[in-house]
Amino acid sequence: MYNKGDLIIYSTHGICRIDNITEKNIAGTTRTYYILSPIENNQHLTISIPVDNNGMLMLSLVNENEAKDILQTFESDGLEWIDNANNRNQVFNKKINSGDRKDIASIANTLIRKQHELKQNEKTLYENDQKLLTKIKSILFKEISLALNISIDEVNEKIQNKMFQTS
């Protein structure tokens, strides 16, 4: 169980703060709820999630050592590129939905490398690939920045250095 004030990752809403833990009676059933607000909350969104809801993905943020391990994954070549966009989307989304940060980082690594390759040929990523990369950066890179107490720009710089370092 999480506590009031904890930061977590909640589904597609990204990093959220637990503002409160309260009981609510809905349709005659009383349950305990987390009251969440996304930290990048431009519209003052409040989310109520039952504490015992196992159906939605809620994850604790990575710690400093885990964040450093995740950054190390960007030294590898990433995943093998899947040419078929539908198959690629299925494989990537399955890995993302697992919540495994190293798998998610490997997808970001693969997409960044492909983006770099395409840019050299004056091309761009497919729209779905670009959206996926943007989503990963907005959640995973922010999570790493919080764990390491650095800016997202510094996270991007570290990743770029690991991926494209010259020997």
Q: For residue range 25-84, what is the model confidence (pLDDT) as tens digits?
A: 888 989 999 999 998 866 678 899 888 876 667 889 999 999 999 999 999 999 999 999
2 assigned to some structural domain: no
Q: What is the pLDDT of residue 161?
A: 94
Number of domains in the chain: 2
Global pTM reads 0.86
Q: Which residue range(s) make up the domain with 160?
A: 64-164
Mean pLDDT score, 112-136: 95
**One domain, residues 53 and 113:** no
Mean pLDDT score, 113-122: 94
CA nearest neighbour of 34 among 14, 61, 12, 7: 7
62 contacts 46 by C-beta, under 8 angstroms = no
**One domain, residues 124 and 156:** yes
Lookup result for tokens 């959220």: 16
Give 16's Cβ-side CA count (13 Å radius): 26
Torsion sign across C-alpha atoms 141, 145, 147, 148: positive
